C-alpha cells in the first residue's frame, strides 16, 4: 500500500505551515534522506527529508499552499512494484483544521502539537487607542519585532543582544530582519553565556546605553539572575539614585509545549517579588507592542515576559506612529458583574475561554488582563471586586508564593468587606512540568478549572 507523507511538526509549538516548494516531482525516485520539500513555519523555512524509499506517487498538497495543518497527508510514496493505480488504495487526502490535530492522532514521527487556545474576541475597547484608529493584523512575533525596530530607529543607544538574535534571525524569529536594518553593531549575537552577557548588558546600561537583552527562554535567565537582581534592580538604590540602568530583559517565559520541566517554568512571581524591577507580561498583540516600546523607554530595568505559545497568534495592532502603552495599567478586557477573573499573559486564554463558557450559564465574568505584574494595578482589581464581590486568579505558574496569592492578599487588604466568597486561585499544579502530553495538560490550568472556580465562588 502506498505510504503517506504527512505534514511534519518542525517545532514543539508548530500547528501548521506553508508548503512553499516541492523539490521532487511525481514519478521521481526517492531515497531515505532525500530532501523532498521546503516548508515555511512561523519561525523558519525548513527542509523535509524523506524517511521512506520508493517513487513519489502523488503530490497531494501543491506547492504554495498556506496553513497546512500538521499531520495532513501531503504526498504518497509508492513502494517497489506499486503503480499509480495503487494510489486509490491510499486514504483520501483531507485538509485538517489546526485545532483538530489531536495528540492521539499524531503519528510517531511527528511530535504532537498542543492545541493552542483560539484567539479571543475582545469585548472592551482599549482606552489607549483613539476611536477610529486604523488597525493592522499582526502576529505577536511581528508586533515585538516592530516595537524593537521602532525604538532602535528612534534612539541610537538602544541595541539588542542575545543568543541567535542576529544572523539566525532569532531562535523564535522575534528579531527577524533587525540585523539587516541595524547592522551587527546594534544586533549582537552572544555566545551561550547568560550570566556573562546579562552582566555586560547591565554594565553598558550603567553608562546610559539601553540594551534589550534577549534570553532564549527565561529558564536560561536563572543563570543570570544574580546580575538581574543584584546588579540591575538594586544599583539605583545602593547608589543613592546616582546610577540606575535602563535595560529590558525579554524572552519567552513559562510553558511552551512538550519541553518538560527545565524549559517550562513561569517566573512571574520570582521577578515580581523584587523592588527595583518592573515586570510586564502581556497577552494581546497590541499590548505586546505598546508595552515593549514602553519598556525600552523606561529608565528602569524591565523584565518583559513573553509566551512562546502566543508568538504565532495574531491580533489587531493600532496603526499609529508611536503606540506606547504605559507600564502599570491593567485592562478590563471583558466586563461583567458576577465574578472578576484576573490573569495575564497566556493565563488570559483560559480566562477568556472560561468567560465564554460561564456566559452560557448566565454568569457574567469581568476579565482583567493585568499586563504588568510590578507595579501591580491594584486599583483596577479592587474596583472590579467591589462591583462583583468575587474573584478568581488564573496563572500558569505555581500557586505557592505565586502572583495569584499576592492578588488575593491585596483583595483581602483593600476589599475584604466587599467579598462574598473567598478568592479562588487557578494555577499550574505543584509539580515540575511533565513531558507526557496527557500529564502536561493536567499540570497546566484549563478553562474548565477556571469555570469551576468561578462557579464555586458564585456558589453555583
Partner 1 sequence: MAAPKKAAASTAQDKTDGGSPPEFTREQELKALRDMLLIRRFEEKAGQLYGMGAIGGFCHLYIGQEAVVVGMQMALKPGDQVITGYRDHGHMLATGMEANGVMAELTGRRGGYSKGKGGSMHMFSKEKHFYGGHGIVGAQVSLGTGLAFANHYRDNDNVSVTYFGDGAANQGQVYESFNMAELWKLPVIYVIENNRYAMGTSVSRASAQQDFSKRGASFNIPGQQVDGMDVRAVKAAGDEAAAWCRAGKGPFILEMQTYRYRGHSMSDPAKYRTREEVEKVRHDQDPIEQVRNRLLAAKVSEQDLKAIDAEVREIVNASADFAQHDPEPDAAELWTDIYR
- Residues of this chain that bind partner 1 (CB under 8 A): 159, 185, 190-191, 193, 195-209, 226-227, 230-231, 235-244, 275-276, 278, 299-300
Sole residue written with cell 520541566: 261
Nearest-approach distance from CB 340 to partner 1, in angstroms = 28
Closer residue to partner 1 (CB): 18 or 300: 300
Separation CA 418–CA 135 (nearest Å): 39
Helix residue ranges per DSSP H, 239-281: 268-272
Separation CA 227–CA 225 (nearest Å): 5
Nearest-approach distance from CB 242 to partner 1, in angstroms = 5
What is the Cα 179 distance to its own chain's centre? 23
Separation CA 372–CA 288 (nearest Å): 11
Closer residue to partner 1 (CB): 197 or 344: 197
Closer residue to partner 1 (CB): 170 or 199: 199
Separation CA 267–CA 428 (nearest Å): 12
Listed in sequence order, the residues at least 6 apart from 379 whose beta carbon sits closer than 8 Å to its beta carbon are none
Are 228 and 249 spatial neighbours (Cβ–Cβ below 8 Å)?
yes
Closer residue to partner 1 (CB): 276 or 282: 276
Nearest-approach distance from CB 153 to partner 1, in angstroms = 17
Closer residue to partner 1 (CB): 272 or 384: 272
Separation CA 303–CA 198 (nearest Å): 12
Nearest-approach distance from CB 227 to partner 1, in angstroms = 6
Nearest-approach distance from CB 241 to partner 1, in angstroms = 4
Closer residue to partner 1 (CB): 239 or 337: 239
Separation CA 357–CA 365 (nearest Å): 10
Helix (H) or strand (E) holding 77: strand 73-78
Are 26 and 40 spatial neighbours (Cβ–Cβ below 8 Å)?
no
Q: Which of 248, 187, 182 minimizes the C-alpha distance to 215?
A: 248
Q: How far is CA 396 from CA 30, 227, 260, 427, in A?
A: 45, 25, 14, 5
Nearest-approach distance from CB 298 to partner 1, in angstroms = 9
Nearest-approach distance from CB 306 to partner 1, in angstroms = 22
Q: Which of 42, 134, 93 minimizes the C-alpha distance to 318?
A: 134
Report the catalytic residues: 194, 263
Nearest-approach distance from CB 208 to partner 1, in angstroms = 8
Closer residue to partner 1 (CB): 97 or 243: 243
Separation CA 394–CA 234 (nearest Å): 30
Residue 139's SS3 state is: strand
Burial of 438 (0-12, 13-18, 19+ CB in 10 A): exposed
Closer residue to partner 1 (CB): 230 or 337: 230
Closer residue to partner 1 (CB): 62 or 240: 240
Separation CA 165–CA 173 (nearest Å): 8
Nearest-approach distance from CB 373 to partner 1, in angstroms = 15
Residue 106's SS3 state is: coil
Listed in sequence order, the residues at least 6 apart from 450 whose beta carbon sits closer than 8 Å to its beta carbon are 341, 350, 351, 353, 354, 392, 394, 426
Amino acid at each position: 500500500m502506498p505510504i503517506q507523507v504527512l505534514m511534519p511538526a518542525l517545532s514543539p509549538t508548530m500547528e501548521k505551515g506553508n508548503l512553499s516548494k516541492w523539490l521532487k516531482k511525481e514519478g521521481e525516485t526517492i531515497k531515505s534522506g532525500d530532501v523532498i520539500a521546503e516548508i515555511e513555519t512561523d519561525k523558519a523555512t525548513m527542509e523535509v527529508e524523506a524517511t521512506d524509499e520508493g517513487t513519489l506517487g502523488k503530490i497531494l498538497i501543491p506547492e504554495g499552499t498556506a496553513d497546512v495543518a500538521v499531520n495532513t497527508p501531503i504526498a504518497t510514496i509508492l513502494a517497489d512494484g506499486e503503480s499509480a493505480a495503487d494510489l486509490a488504495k491510499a486514504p483520501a487526502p483531507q485538509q485538517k483544521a489546526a485545532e483538530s490535530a489531536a495528540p492521539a492522532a499524531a503519528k510517531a514521527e511527528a511530535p504532537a502539537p498542543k492545541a493552542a487556545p483560539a484567539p479571543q474576541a475582545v469585548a472592551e475597547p482599549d482606552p489607549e487607542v483613539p476611536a477610529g484608529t486604523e488597525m493592522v493584523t499582526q502576529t505577536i512575533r511581528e508586533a515585538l519585532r516592530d516595537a524593537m525596530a521602532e525604538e532602535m530607529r528612534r534612539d541610537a543607544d538602544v541595541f539588542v543582544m542575545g543568543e541567535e538574535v542576529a544572523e539566525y534571525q532569532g531562535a523564535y524569529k522575534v528579531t527577524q530582519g533587525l540585523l539587516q536594518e541595524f547592522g551587527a553593531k546594534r544586533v549582537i549575537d552572544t555566545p551561550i553565556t547568560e550570566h556573562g552577557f546579562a552582566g555586560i548588558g547591565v554594565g553598558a546600561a550603567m553608562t546610559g546605553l539601553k540594551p534589550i537583552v534577549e534570553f532564549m527562554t527565561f529558564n536560561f535567565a536563572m543563570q543570570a539572575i544574580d546580575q538581574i537582581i543584584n546588579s540591575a534592580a538594586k544599583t539605583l538604590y545602593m547608589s543613592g539614585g546616582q546610577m540606575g540602568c535602563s535595560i529590558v530583559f525579554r524572552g519567552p517565559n513559562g510553558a511552551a509545549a512538550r519541553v518538560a520541566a527545565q524549559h517550562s517554568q513561569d517566573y512571574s512571581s520570582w521577578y515580581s517579588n523584587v523592588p527595583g524591577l518592573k515586570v510586564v507580561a502581556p497577552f494581546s498583540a497590541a499590548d505586546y507592542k505598546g508595552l515593549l516600546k514602553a519598556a525600552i523607554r523606561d529608565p528602569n530595568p524591565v523584565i518583559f515576559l513573553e509566551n512562546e505559545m502566543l508568538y504565532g497568534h495574531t491580533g489587531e495592532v493600532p496603526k499609529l506612529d508611536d503606540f506606547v502603552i504605559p507600564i502599570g495599567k491593567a485592562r478590563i478586557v471583558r466586563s461583567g458583574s458576577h465574578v472578576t477573573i484576573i490573569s495575564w499573559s497566556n493565563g488570559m486564554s483560559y480566562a477568556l475561554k472560561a468567560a465564554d463558557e460561564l456566559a452560557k450559564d448566565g454568569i457574567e465574568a469581568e476579565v482583567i488582563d493585568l499586563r504588568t505584574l510590578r507595579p501591580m494595578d491594584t486599583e483596577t482589581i479592587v474596583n472590579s471586586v467591589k462591583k462583583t464581590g468575587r474573584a478568581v486568579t488564573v496563572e500558569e505558574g505555581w500557586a505557592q508564593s505565586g502572583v495569584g496569592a499576592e492578588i488575593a492578599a491585596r483583595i483581602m487588604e483593600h476589599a475584604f468587606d466587599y467579598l462574598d466568597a473567598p478568592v479562588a486561585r487557578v494555577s499550574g499544579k505543584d509539580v515540575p512540568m511533565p513531558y507526557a502530553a496527557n500529564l502536561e495538560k493536567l499540570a497546566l490550568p484549563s478553562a474548565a478549572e477556571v469555570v469551576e472556580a468561578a462557579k464555586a465562588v458564585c456558589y453555583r
